[in-house]
Amino acid sequence: MRALLLVAALGGCREHEGPPEPHPLTRTPGAAAANAATRVLYQSGPGSFVDVIASARHGVVAIHSATPVKSGPAAMFPGAPDTAPDVALGTGFLVEAKGIYVLTNQHIAAASPNLKVVLEGGTELPAKLLGSDVPLDLALLSIEPPHPLKPLPLADSNDLQVGDWLIALGNPFGDEVSASVGIVSATGQKAAASLLNGVAMTYRMFIQTDARIHRGNSGGPVLDTAGEVVGIAVAVGDRPGELSFVIPINRAREIFDPLREQGRVARSWLGATVLPVTPEQALQLGMTKPIGALVTGVQPNSPAIRAALRNGDVILRWDGRDVDSKSLPWLVAQTPVGKAVAVALWRNKAEFPLTVVTEKMPQ
């Protein structure tokens, strides 16, 4: 991979004129066509991430504590004890959420009662915790900068595909933006979603990547090659070879308002498990195409059972919005607690209306 990136970088250099000469060892009879194909393959990859990182560094901030804490990013240095004290906690980044705020991990914001944000250039500002969400490990901070700040642009994380490039940025010490690069190993979009026991998010539903994510860049932005944020880095450990996880930015968008206005996220639940409708199941159910979310389990003493939802029902629309097994959990979770929701089902080979009154998600 290093050789591939090196050749690609040379191929994409502005000062390099024409394609690179093949290595002398490749100058063998009959190998010209193979070498040309190899050069095209190498040069088709990203030549450099320098411009992407340079365009985003203004939005990456360091999260510090007013007093030293233990087991922060300083403990990552070679030879440092696991309890090495330091004021650095992790990374955050600037987002637009009806104002400019700082988004970071909840476990970082919870590490100190007195938080500070270090902007690019070293300006240090006191930060106020507006709200946090433990299930998603997200926290929203407010600051009062001396000049207008520019937030990072947000992408649509649902557009990610396995194999897309990702760039994880961090700056826990406020000195220099660091970067790690990898690809999307799994999007998490096909992980089974359960509304049975109030589960709104698990690591299986996070984006997985082979980019190195550690305590230093935890809470920082993860970018696509267009320089837009597709997720938030979250470190679950520092051992080499561990999976790296990224919280999809679409999940964060959904909770900006409640974090800013209520300081927490009150989620609703349904009490049902759902799966995608396969073409074979659609044919058996008399549907013209496989759409909606197939109900495969209903829990006793739940909103689903009280609404007479059954196994085998297909939920087509929730509160007027078309749904499938991936979108339904998030729509249910965001629905206000106690709301009577109009639900369109497919039952007995026809559409069937149902009303579900949502309840607070069990803790």
86, 137, 313, 324: which one is catalytic? 137
Question: pLDDT tens digits, the chain, 363 residues: what are they?
Answer: 434 333 333 334 434 444 444 433 333 444 444 444 433 433 445 678 999 999 999 999 999 998 888 767 876 666 666 666 789 999 999 999 999 999 999 999 999 999 999 999 999 999 999 999 988 899 999 999 989 999 999 999 999 999 999 999 999 999 999 999 999 999 887 665 544 444 555 666 789 999 999 888 999 999 999 999 999 999 866 666 677 899 999 989 989 999 999 999 888 889 888 889 999 999 999 999 999 999 999 989 999 999 999 999 999 999 999 998 878 887 888 888 999 999 999 999 999 999 999 998 876
Q: So what's the pLDDT on residue 294?
A: 95
107, 112, 157, 180: which one is catalytic? 107
Tens of pLDDT, residue by residue over 107-148, are 999 999 999 999 999 999 999 999 999 888 999 999 999 899
Q: So what's the pLDDT on residue 73?
A: 80
185 is catalytic: no
Domain 49-70+85-262, CATH: 2.40.10.120
Tens of pLDDT, residue by residue over 270-298, are 988 888 999 999 999 999 999 999 999 99
Q: So what's the pLDDT on residue 183?
A: 95
218, 244, 302, 325: which one is catalytic? 218
137 is catalytic: yes
Give the Cα separation of 345 and 72 in Å (integer). 50
Domain boundaries, the chain: 2-45, 49-70+85-262, 268-360
Q: So what's the pLDDT on residue 323?
A: 92
Q: So what's the pLDDT on residue 235?
A: 81
Q: So what's the pLDDT on residue 68?
A: 86
* Fold (CATH) for 268-360: Pdz3 Domain (2.30.42)
Residue 299 CA: distances (Å) to CA of 35, 91, 143, 269, 355: 61, 40, 44, 11, 17
Q: So what's the pLDDT on residue 328?
A: 87
pTM over 0.85: no
